[in-house]
Amino acid sequence: MPYGLRTFYCPSGSGQTGRMADQYAQSGEAVRPPDVAAVSAHPSIPAIRWDDPPEGPVLVLLDQTRLPGEESELVCTDPPGLVQAIRTLAVRGAPLLGIAGAYGVALAAARGFDVDEAADALAGARPTAVNLAYGARRAQAAHRKAVAGGADRRQAAASVLAVARALHKEDAEASARMAVHGLALLDELMPGGGHRVLTHCNTGALVSGGEGTAFAVALAAHRKGRLRRLWVDETRPLLQGARLTAYEAARSGMPYTLLTDNAAGSLFAAGEVDAVLIGADRIAADGSVANKVGSYPLAVLARYHHVPFIVVAPVTTVDPDTPDGAAIEVEQRASHEVTEVTVPFVSAAGAEVGGGIPVAPLGTQAYNPAFDVTPPELVTAVVTEEGVVSPVTTEGLAELCARSRQVTIS
């Protein structure tokens, strides 16, 4: 069947349209499936978009659960629909969650929902990525301020939307600056280029208003001809590396190789990794880094093999109100994400529990934390849009946050 635009129907309040994704567009592979090649000219859908009337007000998401098999739009018309999209990871990754949280409050204001209730629901939809609560609360504060200043409903909604748009733009700018700082650091640590970088989870344009965090650094290196290889951890259980990072690397024409998470050790042992670049969902005041589960073992491996472990995140991911790693709430997710394999874009009509293919005996309980916490002593540097903190200390991070606040206020 030829691939083209498709229309899907989602739970109430949302609609979905889609087309086959072009993950093979610039993969550099000698062979690419002919059926996918047929749609290579389609532009990609932005990770998030606000549509005004007459289509809106709606928030349009690129449904990341269907990648790389299909690029499809998920249209959120109300805050509960967006909360569900966040919980199911249709929209995901710390910076993008912040943007989504802010637009979600704007959607509530524009459509006459209770704004405080919506902000609470959005801020609590996932607990670890601090950006989500940051975006929702910042938008909520704008609404309160507008109402206190005598704005009517329409004016208050417009102020919230302006804040969401500002956050979106700020994140794009932060992404570009992180790429500059991150590449400068890579070049300093490994003069001569030819960087072989290992990354985990997904940190590119799919999680950002711009080109991402850690991935944006690798992309900048690639554009300067200084990336020899991007090693992409598949990132069990939901395969953000295999499904999303490989998709973004292929589209960007980067030299990349996918590996299972448990192959990382032998890759380090073979001397094939020059640096680890990852993002973060929350950085505590002491520099402890919460990121996708599997990041901490990489940090331990990196230390043993004398390889720099670099965290790239916007200042909004640094949370001065969380004192240390032990205080970070780590999201625990459902067992079925581990006990079943879900193939993107294959609907398992009539299947039970999570709808995937069982790979463990029925009733198996799984330990499924979405994130783990890396202590600051294992982190070589934290790269932000305001600069690099290394060594990673409470004082260094506090100074960075103070500098960022000065920039924001002035």
Task: From the candidates 22, 63, 78, 281, give the one annotated as an active-site residue.
Answer: 281
160 vs 310 by CB, closer to ligand MRU: 310
d(CA 379, CA 375) in angstroms, rounded, equals 7
Nearer to ligand MRU, 89 or 151 (CB): 89
Task: Respond yes or no: is residue 319 known to be catalytic.
Answer: no
* Nearest residue (CB) to ligand MRU, 129 versus 142: 129
Q: Name the burial class of residue 31, with classes exposed (0-12), middle (13-18) and buried (19+) by CB atoms within 10 angstroms of its CB.
A: exposed
d(CA 212, CA 177): 10
Backbone conformation region of residue 279, classed left if phi is above 0, alpha if psi is from -120 to 50, else beta: beta
Contacts with ligand MRU in 369-408 (CB under 6 A)?
Answer: 370
Of 187-195, 277-285, 354-362, 382-390, the window that binds ligand MRU (rule: CB under 6 A) is 277-285
Residue 91 Cβ vs ligand MRU, minimum distance, rounded to whole Å: 9
Distances (CA, A) of 125 to 222, 260, 407: 35, 29, 30
CA nearest to 390, candidates 371, 407, 377, 401: 377
Give the per-residue contact string, 100-129, with ligand MRU (x = CB under 6 A; - = no): -----------------------------x
* Residue 337-376 contact track with ligand MRU, rule CB under 6 A, x = bound: ---------------------------------x------
Establish whether 84 is an annotated binding residue.
Answer: no
Structure tokens at 226: 């200084």
Pick between residue 97 and residue 163 the one whose CB is nearest to ligand MRU. 97
Nearest residue to ligand MRU, scored by beta-carbon proximity: 279
Nearer Cβ to ligand MRU, position 143 or 251?
Answer: 251
How far is it, in rounded angstroms, from Cα 93 to Cα 279? 9
Total number of residues binding ligand MRU (CB under 6 A)?
A: 18
Q: Using CB under 6 A, which of the segments 87-95, 110-118, 132-140, 268-276 binds ligand MRU?
A: 87-95
Q: Which is nearer to ligand MRU, 50 or 371 (CB)?
A: 371
C-alpha 87/C-alpha 92 separation (Å) is 9
- Binding window for ligand MRU (CB under 6 A); candidates: 256-264, 273-281, 355-363, 396-404: 273-281
- Distance, in Å, from the CA atom of 331 to the CA atom of 369, rounded to the nearest integer, reads 6
Closest distance of CB 89 from ligand MRU, Å = 6
**66 annotated ligand-binding residue:** no
Polymer length in residues for the chain: 410
Question: Is there a contact between 392 and 383 (Cβ–Cβ < 8 Å)?
Answer: no
Choice from 181, 251, 292, 336 touching ligand MRU (CB under 6 A): 292
Select the residue interacting with ligand MRU from 66, 92, 168, 282 (CB under 6 A).
Answer: 92
Which element (helix H / strand E) includes 265?
helix 264-269
Shortest distance in whole angstroms from residue 13 CB to ligand MRU: 22
**Residue from 14, 159, 175, 203 binding ligand MRU (CB under 6 A):** 203
Query: What's the CA gap between 392 and 377, in Å, rounded?
Result: 7
The stretch among 92-100, 341-349, 374-382, 391-399 that binds ligand MRU (CB under 6 A) is: 92-100
95 in contact with ligand MRU (CB under 6 A): yes
Instruction: Consult the annotation and say whether 93 binds a ligand.
Output: yes
Minimal distance, residue 24 CB to ligand MRU, in Å: 23
Cα pseudo-dihedral 105, 111, 114, 115, rounded to 10: 20
Please tell me whether 202 is known to bind a ligand.
no
Distance, in Å, from the CA atom of 120 to the CA atom of 10, rounded to the nearest integer, reads 24
Torsion of CA 382, 250, 45, 14, to 10 degrees: -80
Which pair of tokens denotes residue 344? 């993107």
Question: At closest approach, how far in Å is the CB of 370 from ligand MRU?
Answer: 5
Q: Using CB under 6 A, pick the residue from 201, 246, 307, 383 that binds ligand MRU.
A: 201
Residue 208 tokens read as: 């950002």
Closest CA to 372 of 304, 292, 313: 292
Q: Listing from the earlier edge strand, what are the strands of the sheet with 195-199?
A: 256-259, 227-233, 195-199, 275-278, 309-312, 381-384, 387-389
Q: Extract the annotated binding site.
A: 92-94, 126, 240, 291-292
Contact footprint for ligand MRU (CB under 6 A): 89, 92-95, 129, 201, 203, 207, 212-213, 240, 279-281, 291-292, 370
Catalytic residues: 281
Q: Extract the annotated binding site for substrate.
A: 92-94, 126, 240, 291-292
